[in-house]
Amino acid sequence: MQKAHAEAWANSSSPHQAGRAARARIEDVRERIAGLLAVDARDVLFTGSGTEANNLALRSAAALVVSRLDHPSIVRVAEARARAGVPVAWVPVPEAGRLDPEEVLRAALGLPGAQRQGTVVAITAANHETGVIQDVAGIGTRLREHGMRLHVDAAQALGKLPLESFAGADSYTVVAHKVRGPQGVAALAWRGEAPAPVLLGGSQERGLRPGTQSAPLVAGWGAALERLDPERYLRLQPLRDRLERELAGYARVNGEGAPRLSHVSNLSVTGWSGERLVAALDVRGVCVSTGSACRVGTAEPSAAVLAMLGLERARSAVRISLGEDCDEDQLRRGISLISSLLAGQSSSASGSSRGIV
């Protein structure tokens, strides 16, 4: 990114040499994302966030099929479209948090028949709060038989799961900072008909996302793409499982029984509210959350856990994720800090538990 700041400082839409240098960096990363997702490079659109990419993917749909497990940038679009009179079907959420492909299809087929060809079904490949992994292939197979499009929010899945686990969709949202790239850059990739723009302006990104692109941000994403390796996260599953075992006397696992991201644990802790526990752990050097960072400041409980297991479990839920560099020593210290707090004892542990984020 520093090199791009120095060498690709110009507007990438400018025809002069400096502009072409900036554009070359952007197009290189666009082609690499296209190769990963098996789409045409022309159909990869850079955005400022995953939220923007999801909005682009869904705003022009004739009908939507979503669930309360989805990211707010999907759920809020669906709610707004419903208020505008667009048919929206909500898929029932089971306790384990993994949608039944037959239930997804049933919800879609319940929409008015004339809308089915323009229907978009949105699925969050790996849940941002519980880590539960959806059956993207099973859902996609059923939808294709009826001519409906599948949009996959792969923000949490890219780099954490093998690509084939969420392949086969008609469009994807991917986000740089979820793979340790820079914040402020994401992409929408699709097959078939292009999305309708949310913003109006210049001709950048085929006019679908006007505004000057940032070559340094895109270059940073390109650097992050070079080190994609799901094994970095898959190796964390024994550590995550140990965390859950050692806290079993205090907490229940949300999403237990469903396939989950190997580094994520969502726990409902008996006798604590999620917000109180987050604050208490924060002063001890352990960074956890009550759910999606997008919900900060709302005082709302985890939307995913609420849909799965009800208000009581949601109010007491916290999300713990293990950083890719987490090791046995960091995990041990993190567990010690958490368990001593939950047991009502003063922790004598010293040092940081920064591997638990």
3-state secondary structure the chain: CHHHHHHCCCCCCCCCHHHHHHHHHHHHHHHHHHHHHCCCHHHEEEECCHHHHHHHHHCCCCEEEECCCCCHHHHHHHHHHHHCCCCEEECCCCCCCCCCHHHHHHHHHCCCHHHHHHEEEEEECECCCCCEECCHHHHHHHHHCCCCEEEEECCCCECCECHHHHCCCCEEEEEHHHHCCCCCCEEEEECCCCCCCCCCCCCHHHHCCCCCCCHHHHHHHHHHHCCCCCHHHHCCHHHHHHHHHHCCCCEEECCCCCCECCCEEEEEECCCCHHHHHHHHHCCCCCCECCCHHHCCCCCCCHHHHHHHCHHHHHCEEEEEECCCCCHHHHHHHHHHHHHHHCCCCCCCCCCCCCEC
Is residue 310 a part of any domain in this protein? yes
Q: What is the pLDDT of residues 295-321, one digit of tens each?
A: 555 567 889 999 999 999 999 999 999
If asked whether residues 220 and 188 sit together in one domain, one would say: yes
pLDDT at 353: 47
If asked whether residues 57 and 152 sit together in one domain, one would say: yes
Q: What is the pLDDT of residues 340-349, one digit of tens each?
A: 999 985 434 4
**CATH code for position 197:** 3.40.640.10
If asked whether residues 160 and 270 sit together in one domain, one would say: no
If asked whether residues 242 and 280 sit together in one domain, one would say: yes
Is residue 131 a part of any domain in this protein? yes
Does residue 9 carry a pLDDT above 70? yes
If asked whether residues 49 and 31 sit together in one domain, one would say: yes
If asked whether residues 214 and 280 sit together in one domain, one would say: no
Point out the domain boundary residue: 161, 196, 225. 225
If asked whether residues 97 and 162 sit together in one domain, one would say: yes
Q: What is the pLDDT of residues 261-274, one digit of tens each?
A: 999 999 999 999 99
Is residue 354 a part of any domain in this protein? no
pLDDT at 117: 78
pLDDT band at 118 (very low <50, low <70, confident <90, very high): confident
Q: What is the pLDDT of residues 179-211, one digit of tens each?
A: 999 999 999 999 988 898 888 888 888 888 988
Is residue 113 a part of any domain in this protein? yes
pLDDT at 200: 85
Task: Please answer whether residues 158 and 137 qualify as being in contact, where contact means their C-beta atoms are separated by less than 8 angstroms.
Answer: no
Point out the domain boundary residue: 173, 205, 225. 225
If asked whether residues 47 and 129 sit together in one domain, one would say: yes
If asked whether residues 165 and 36 sit together in one domain, one would say: yes
Q: What is the pLDDT of residues 133-181, one digit of tens each?
A: 999 999 999 998 888 999 999 999 999 999 999 998 999 999 999 999 9
**CATH code for position 238:** 3.90.1150.10
CB atoms within 10 A of CB 10: 16
pLDDT at 121: 97
Taking every pair of C-alpha atoms in the chain, what is the biggest distance, in angstroms?
A: 66
Is residue 304 a part of any domain in this protein? yes
Is residue 183 a part of any domain in this protein? yes
Is residue 347 a part of any domain in this protein? no
pLDDT at 14: 87
In angstroms, rounded to a whole number, what is the distance separating the alpha carbons of residues 45 and 37?
13
What residues form DSSP beta bridges with 150?
A: 121
Is residue 28 a part of any domain in this protein? yes
pLDDT at 249: 94
Please state the domain count of the chain.
2
If asked whether residues 119 and 187 sit together in one domain, one would say: yes
Q: What is the pLDDT of residues 34-51, one digit of tens each?
A: 999 999 999 999 999 999
If asked whether residues 134 and 44 sit together in one domain, one would say: yes
If asked whether residues 113 and 72 sit together in one domain, one would say: yes
Point out the domain boundary residue: 225, 247, 267. 225
pLDDT mean over 85-103: 97
Domain limits for position 136: 2-225
Q: What is the pLDDT of residues 214-236, one digit of tens each?
A: 999 999 999 999 999 999 999 99
Q: How many residues does the chain have?
A: 357
Indicate the angle between helix axes 237-246 and 328-342, nearest 10 degrees: 20
pLDDT at 190: 96
Does residue 332 carry a pLDDT above 90? yes
Question: Across the chain, what does the average pLDDT equal?
Answer: 91
Structure tokens at 80: 């707004």
Residues acting as catalytic residues = 294
Share of the chain above pLDDT 70, in %: 94
pLDDT at 13: 85
